[in-house]
Amino acid sequence: MRRGSFTGVQDYSSRMAVSQAMVRQDSNVPVHGEVHGQVQGLGKTDGAHDDQSTPAKRLTVLVYSDDRQVRAALIRALGPHPTPDLPEVDYVECATAAAAIALVDRGGFDLLILDGEAAPTGGAGLARQLKDEIFDCPPVLVLIARPQDAWLATWSRADAVALHPVNALTLPGQVAGLLRAATQDA
């Protein structure tokens, strides 16, 4: 799936090892992400059954931020159905850039939401790296803290930009537009 190689001093495997070692120190940070709503291959975790009015395909969104509260706010603002016309959405949380790269490289995401204020790797830089290195990269929405940082989102090749703090009234519409476009292209 990769069309380029990683840049920088360390190669991917050593960055992943460092990331995993750092995560082991804080067991509350997921290494490979947490799935909300569905465990892959096992169906829904809440015991609900699909009826005929629910579309069969579920959408998957990666939410990247080093701040657990930002990830929770995003997922809460979007909910399982950002808009009624879309299928149910599963969220995969990711706290490190290395884990995000590994997950996106495996594929299966319909949208990536990246926190531009994450540290040490911001969402804008991560977006640019993913757009450069992942063939047919899913659409990317980058969260920024200031409207003046919109140029950074443009540089990152993000498909959309939203402002911190998360606006639960406008964000679902933005996300729905990106998901509709992604599902029509598929």
- Give the tens place of pLDDT for each residue, 97-130: 999 999 999 999 999 999 999 999 999 999 999 9
Task: Sort strands 38-39 and 43-44 into parallel, antiparallel or unpaired.
Answer: antiparallel
At residue 37, does pLDDT exceed 60?
A: no
Tell me if 94 is assigned to some domain.
Answer: yes
Q: Domain for residue 168, yes or no?
A: yes
Please give the residue that has the higher pLDDT: either 141 or 19.
Answer: 141
CATH number at residue 129: 3.40.50.2300
Identify whether 2 is part of a domain: no
Q: How confident is the model at residue 184 (pLDDT cuts 50, 70, 90)?
A: confident
Q: How confident is the model at residue 36 (pLDDT cuts 50, 70, 90)?
A: low
CB 174 within 8 A of CB 160: yes
**Predicted local confidence at residue 53, as pLDDT:** 52
Output the pLDDT for position 48. Answer: 42
Q: Does 88 map to a domain?
A: yes
The answer to whether the CB of 35 falls within 8 A of the CB of 92 is: yes
24 φ, ψ to 5°?
-60, -30
Alpha-carbon distances of 97 from 17, 63, 89, 169, rounded to whole Å: 12, 11, 22, 28
| Residues spanned by the domain of 89 | 31-40+57-185
Between residues 11 and 33, the one the model is more confident about = 33
Domain contains 25: no
Q: How many independent structural domains does the chain possess?
A: 1
Q: What is the pLDDT of residues 51-86, one digit of tens each?
A: 455 445 899 999 999 999 999 999 999 999 999 999
pLDDT tens-place string over residues 125-153: 999 999 999 999 999 999 999 999 999 98
Per the structure block, which two tokens stand in for 139?
């659409």
155 assigned to some structural domain: yes
Q: Does residue 30 have a cis bond before it (omega within 30 degrees)? A: no
